Structure 1
Amino acid sequence: MPIDPVTDFEIEAYIDGELDTERRMAVEDHLSRHADVAARVMADLKVRSALRLVLQQREPLPAQLADRAETLRQRLGKRRWRLSAIMGFSTMGMAAAAAALMLVWPSLHGDVPSYVGDAVMSHRVGLMRAAMISQVETPHFDAREMQQSTRIRMPVPLSGWRVTDVQLFPSDAGPALQFMIHTDNGQIMSMFATPTRSRATTQPVAVQRGDTAAAYWNRDGVSYALIGSLPARDLDRAADDVADNAYF
């Protein structure tokens, strides 16, 4: 039986310990035949080990991670994270450790929702549809009909964003709605939404998987994900604006 090709998303999931045994073996076979990819994976594992060490030993962030920590530290105020929750640091040490925690939190706790994987897969399907002549894109969207049928309200796309395709996908939580979007700067992104039992409102959290980033959040009983091939920090900023925008 042929083995499905290993994707960058799966390699990143392998690093985070999020694959089942069969796909871990597939990734390990791929790494054994691609030394350059294996070297990158080992480098990423080293970074994650260093960050775990920072959290365990409560020491200042190593200098080689300072730039990444500073980027995340600047977001702490917006997220309203409390640095006082981490004890035993100087002011800068606390900020750096909190930034490190934000960076590795999904990896350490495995709490990235399962629907984010569905969102990434639907994004790839959307890209395939766009490239196929036989697949007709359908940008029409009736917000009232969709809400009555699926209980989903979608955020209004940002200014300069153009919806090129609207599709329903199955998910574990029920019907999921996807917008494929072209932005004014040439990016192709997708917005994915599916009902959730939680009524809690959360702020977007971004994770990176190879060349693909995903930002996810909850609002009024619906879980959302914004997917795109850009750095997680850029996608996170876009998701913040989307999440705070009006909803259909």
Structure 2
Amino acid sequence: MTDSADPVVQADLDAYVDDQLDAARRIAVEAHLAARPEEAARVMSDLRNRDELRLALAVPQPGARPSTTEAARRLERGLRRGRVLSLFQRAAAVAVLVGAGWMLNDAAGPLVGPVVASVPPPAYVEDAVQAHGTSVLRASMHSQPVSQGYDPAEIRSATAITMPTLPADWRVRDVQVYPSRFGPSVELQAQSKSFGQLSLFAVRPGTFDVVKPTLVPGEGASAAYFQVGEVAYALVSHGDAQALDRAAAELARSLY
């Protein structure tokens, strides 16, 4: 289904957030969002706000008055009828929690800004760092065979993982498919003039999202992760962290 045959409109995006679409139309909307990262980011924010409010309503809280709970439910229904500004959604949700006397440190933790609390990296970043360490260890062992035959089309066919276009000066040294907590993952080890040895990890984490490249500095290896649609990626290296972040942004752009 293409945009020209049946274009995705705002009503489709609202229905997607509210779980009102059939499977075929959801796929069409997700394909639409995969090609539009800014729009996808707004939809993901709506989904997060919806889930935060639903979670707050689902968990019984001591001391919550029935009138306050009903007000929260009216707010949730109002948000379903129309997509208002994300800031208003968050402010309204926080106001409901405060009025009920809930513990904001637990219930409203995700609503605070990055200045107050930083968001931990996704779990697949830890897998990527571990896979990088394994690749470095394999490279030091003469008894361990390496596979320099890099075939992105075969990888996509076997794992449903689309690999980004590598920079021209990267030389692939090894490509392996590793198990992970999310299923098969791809670990590509490359040599670059800018970084020396580095790894590109790719996996399907089980969620549809668009995440811009985000740097996770480390005392040893640093990582820069991003996600495009259903596939997440993490670039890991012991080299310059800021240069690693720029390289991740270049890889992400190659997927559009």
Name the SS for the 1:136 alignment partner.
coil
**Residue in 2 that maps onto 1:190:** 199
**CA 1:181–1:106: 2 relative to 1, 3 Å:** farther
Instruction: Tell me whether 1:167 sits opposite 2:176 in the alignment.
Output: yes
Name the SS for the 1:209 alignment partner.
coil
> 5 Å matches for 1:207-246?
207-246=216-255
| Aligned counterparts of 1:164 and 1:236: Cα–Cα separation in 2 | 21
When the two structures are superposed, what TM-score results if normalisation uses the length of structure 2?
0.53
1:141-189 CA-to-partner distances (Å, cap 9, x unmatched) read: 2323221221101111112011110001111111000110100246110
Query: For the pair shown, which has the larger CA radius of gyration, 1 or 2?
Result: 2
Amino acid of the structure 1 residue aligned with 2:122: P
Instruction: Tell me whether 1:149 sits opposite 2:158 in the alignment.
Output: yes
1:32-65 CA-to-partner distances (Å, cap 9, x unmatched) read: xxxxxxxxxxxxxxxxxxxxxxxxxxxxxxxxxx
CA contact (8 A) 1:152 1:195 kept: yes
Structure 2 unpaired stretches of 5+: 1-40, 42-85, 88-112
| Aligned counterparts of 2:175 and 2:115: Cα–Cα separation in 1 | 29
| Aligned counterparts of 1:156 and 1:107: Cα–Cα separation in 2 | 37
CA shift for structure 1 position 139: 1.1
CA RMSD after TM alignment: 2.6
Structure 1 unpaired stretches of 5+: 1-79, 87-103
**Residue in 2 that maps onto 1:114:** 123
| Aligned counterparts of 1:190 and 1:107: Cα–Cα separation in 2 | 32
| Aligned counterparts of 2:141 and 2:219: Cα–Cα separation in 1 | 24
Name the SS for the 1:204 alignment partner.
strand
**Residue in 1 that maps onto 2:108:** none
When the two structures are superposed, what TM-score results if normalisation uses the length of structure 1?
0.54
**Residue in 1 that maps onto 2:133:** 124
| Aligned counterparts of 2:115 and 2:146: Cα–Cα separation in 1 | 34
**CA 1:107–1:208: 2 relative to 1, 3 Å:** farther
| Aligned counterparts of 1:216 and 1:167: Cα–Cα separation in 2 | 19
Amino acid of the structure 2 residue aligned with 1:195: R
| Aligned counterparts of 1:144 and 1:181: Cα–Cα separation in 2 | 18
Name the SS for the 2:212 alignment partner.
coil
**CA 1:142–1:207: 2 relative to 1, 3 Å:** same
CA shift for structure 1 position 105: 4.6
CA contact (8 A) 1:106 1:112 kept: no
Name the SS for the 2:174 alignment partner.
strand
| Aligned counterparts of 2:114 and 2:237: Cα–Cα separation in 1 | 21
CA shift for structure 1 position 232: 2.3
Q: 1:180 aligns with which of 168, 184, 189?
A: 189
> 5 Å matches for 1:83-102?
none
CA contact (8 A) 2:165 2:251 kept: yes
CA shift for structure 1 position 107: 10
**CA 1:210–1:142: 2 relative to 1, 3 Å:** same
CA contact (8 A) 2:195 2:238 kept: no
CA shift for structure 1 position 238: 1.1
Name the SS for the 2:225 alignment partner.
strand
Name the SS for the 1:215 alignment partner.
strand
Amino acid of the structure 1 residue aligned with 2:167: L
> 5 Å matches for 1:37-76?
none
1:116-138 CA-to-partner distances (Å, cap 9, x unmatched) read: 01100000110111111101111
